[in-house]
Chains A and B, each alone.
Chain A
Amino acid sequence: MYQYDEFDADFVQERAVQFGRQVEDRLAGKITEEQFRPLRLMNGLYLQLHAYMLRINVPYGCLNSTQMRKLAHIARVFDKGYGHLTTRQNMQFNWIKLSDMPAILLELASVEMHGIQSSGNCIRNITADEYAGSAADEIEDPRVYCEILRQWSSLHPEFSFLPRKFKIAVSGSDRDRAVIKAHDIGLRLHKNEAGEAGFEVFVGGGLGRTPFIGKSIRDFLPTQHVLSYCEAILRVYNQLGRRDNKYKARIKILVHEMGADVFGEKVEKEWAEIRETALELADSETARIRGFFAPPAHEKLDDDDSDLAGDPAFATWVEQQTAGHKKPGYTIVNVSCSPVGKPPGDISAAQMDGFADLADTYNFGEMRVTHNQNLVLTDVRKKDLLPLWQKLVTLGLATPNHGLISDTICCPGLDYCALANARSIPLAEKLSERFADQQKQKDIGEIYLNMSGCINACGHHHIGNIGIVGVDKKNSELYQLMLGGSAEEDASLGKILGRGFDEDGIVDAVECVINTYIELREAGEKFIETYRRVGPDPFKEKVYSAPA
């Protein structure tokens, strides 16, 4: 993992002290809310429906056990004993007191954490494949470039007041686990014919009110140019992106209106001016950063799966939650934070502490947060899976639903969020209860069910195979159903099926969609494949022929 140098540590400490003083000024009435608001947002502090919410950056989802214990401490001492994992691989606390913020930021700074740039019209937390460094299908470790981009984008003077917020994601594998095509910039590491690593560059992806899938503007960008090329994209956007209308200010609108080809030409022109400047990465600098992500001290092991049967519950969990690792005898473990009937992504202080212990014992002291609001251990010895599972069971973190229908993505919605139109968490709870039966879930197979409490789409509803978005219709909650979205290499946006439903109605409608899929599917076909083959009509017919 990256470790702060003296400069980083001093800077974060200074910012904590500075914000502490700003809080004191606010509480003493020396500055108004209007003056204070941008300052608190710059430090990740929002005022939500019920209280202040603090968003803490988890750079590209990487956490160590000391940091996790600190988050547990904050949850316990300053919040109500739990935190919430977000779709930007961050951690949010929902019940923070303003008067506690100076102390909290100092606590965070002591473990190299902060909330800087987790809000505002700047470059936000850069996200990455949660299996980075360990995935069997990995071409190169994306964290190296995430860290280089993080350092470049932190307090970048030219890009601190962009037309709107800006999100970058990096994937280093064939399989896109980082949703790169739904980002302002998506970077896909791959190799050219000469066997050199480089990026395919996507721009203008994004969800929200006007969703777009990112467009490729460059097939192959040698890795040493990643900063200059991103700088060129940001410059074109900063200059031409709309500042007159907040709803048209994201880069996706610019790319859409201008056309990806024209946008790409402008970027290339800008890039030609700056590519051979200090932004070109020296091999020595890339190697220095790569050094922080050196693989842990893996043992030489046989790839022996013989211990993985036995207890059926354990075998089910192994089958569902583990993924292929580069090294023989090791595996990646997905840890579900979406237990049946509970808010997806919520994690208690006790679970955080317990999980930190497990990371120390079984995973070289590190862990990942995923955009699916779950956790991952990336380097577990297969022979440790049984004791790990037993301890996860004790912690309530052993739900075997990775990639299944009850493993939903769900934003905070109207239960917490000041922008929401409708609740989403209770819906996620009900849906996971409706499909709780493990056999039924297995039979349905791989499927992604995403929901948001408003069109801002923090719950990624457009790219769920099944997406749900809440709207406010005459002061009551109404849910629209979308089908056909995908977050992966073949990214696509879901389409609204028809009229919306109330809370119970939407749960029934989802069940009807699933039953229709089961009737229509061909052998081995996933939900998204069946949907793409048959289109929306058979689903529409079934869902809307049921009595209202």
Chain B
Amino acid sequence: MHQVVIANRLTDGIVVFLGREPEWLEGLENCQPAQDAAQAEALLARGAAAEAEQFVVGPELIEVELREGVWVPVKMREAMRSRGPSVRSDLGKQAEN
């Protein structure tokens, strides 16, 4: 199972992801998911630390899978959070999809 941490950034609420690379990312394109339970636990610990440092809110592990060479969340709700709304395609990150 592949997992990343998802959260909202505290200052603006924007959805961010944490994989094995050092930074939080706004998209999953360059995210390297945890590949086992130990890696996932380490990611979640980093998420909790970022929450304690007031960088993010509500970090949690989510499952992702590779679809056509891109990591996407397995659950519909998290997929929506990663893509942006499916409406108003003139605005925001959904306009870039």
A96-B13 in contact (CB<8A): yes
11 further contact pairs, Cβ within 8 A, besides A26-B54, A415-B80: A33-B57, A47-B57, A50-B81, A50-B84, A50-B85, A51-B13, A81-B91, A97-B13, A99-B12, A472-B76, A477-B76
Does residue A107 face the partner (Cβ distance < 8 Å to B)?
Answer: no
Please choose the segment from A181-189, A423-431, A480-488 that sits at the chain B interface, where 4 or more of its residues have CB less than 8 A away: A423-431
Interface size class on chain B is 20 to 34
**Minimum CB distance partner of A343 in chain B:** B87
A476 touching B76 in the complex, CB below 8 Å, given contacts A49-B81, A343-B88, A425-B87:
yes
18 CB < 8 A contacts A-B: A27-B10, A27-B54, A47-B8, A49-B15, A49-B80, A50-B14, A50-B84, A51-B14, A52-B12, A96-B13, A98-B12, A99-B12, A420-B77, A425-B85, A425-B87, A426-B86, A472-B77, A475-B74
Give B residues with C-beta under 8 Å from A.
8, 10-15, 51, 53-54, 57-58, 74-77, 80-81, 84-88, 91-92
From B11, B84, B85, A97 is in contact (CB under 8 Å) with B11
From A27, A346, A475, B75 is in contact (CB under 8 Å) with A475
**Minimum CB distance partner of B75 in chain A:** A475
CA distance A420 to B79 in the complex (A): 13
From A33, A416, A472, B85 is in contact (CB under 8 Å) with A416
B11-A27 in contact (CB<8A): yes
CA distance A517 to B10 in the complex (A): 51
Which chain A residues in 405-448 approach chain B with CB under 8 Å?
Answer: 414-416, 420, 423, 425-426, 429
B28: min CB distance to chain A, Å: 14
A414-B77 in contact (CB<8A): yes
Most B C-beta atoms less than 10 A away, residue of A414, A425, A472: A414
B53-A415 in contact (CB<8A): no
Most B C-beta atoms less than 10 A away, residue of A29, A49, A476: A49
From B11, B54, B80, B86, A29 is in contact (CB under 8 Å) with B54
Does residue A80 face the partner (Cβ distance < 8 Å to B)?
Answer: yes
Does residue A237 face the partner (Cβ distance < 8 Å to B)?
Answer: no
B76-A51 in contact (CB<8A): no
A414-B80 in contact (CB<8A): yes
Which chain A residues in 458-503 approach chain B with CB under 8 Å?
Answer: 472, 475-477
Give A residues with C-beta under 8 Å from B.
26-29, 33, 47-52, 80-82, 95-99, 343, 346, 414-416, 420, 423, 425-426, 429, 472, 475-477
From B15, B57, B74, B87, A426 is in contact (CB under 8 Å) with B87
CA distance A426 to B91 in the complex (A): 15
Q: Which residues of B contact A95 (CB under 8 A)?
A: 92
Q: Which residues of B contact A425 (CB under 8 A)?
A: 85-87
Q: Which residues of A contact B58 (CB under 8 A)?
A: 33, 47
Most A C-beta atoms less than 10 A away, residue of B8, B75, B85, B91: B85
B53-A49 in contact (CB<8A): no
CA distance A26 to B9 in the complex (A): 13
A29-B53 in contact (CB<8A): yes
B87-A97 in contact (CB<8A): no
Most A C-beta atoms less than 10 A away, residue of B53, B74, B75, B84: B84
Q: Which residues of B contact A48 (CB under 8 A)?
A: 13
Q: Which residues of B contact A82 (CB under 8 A)?
A: 88, 91
A80-B92 in contact (CB<8A): yes
CA distance A95 to B81 in the complex (A): 13
CA distance A109 to B20 in the complex (A): 45
B88: min CB distance to chain A, Å: 7
CA distance A81 to B92 in the complex (A): 11
Q: Which residues of A contact B10 (CB under 8 A)?
A: 26-27, 98
A69: min CB distance to chain B, Å: 21
CA distance A360 to B74 in the complex (A): 51
Q: Which residues of B contact A423 (CB under 8 A)?
A: 80, 86-87
A49-B91 in contact (CB<8A): no
Q: Which residues of A contact B81 (CB under 8 A)?
A: 49-50
CA distance A420 to B76 in the complex (A): 11
B8-A415 in contact (CB<8A): no
**Minimum CB distance partner of A46 in chain B:** B13
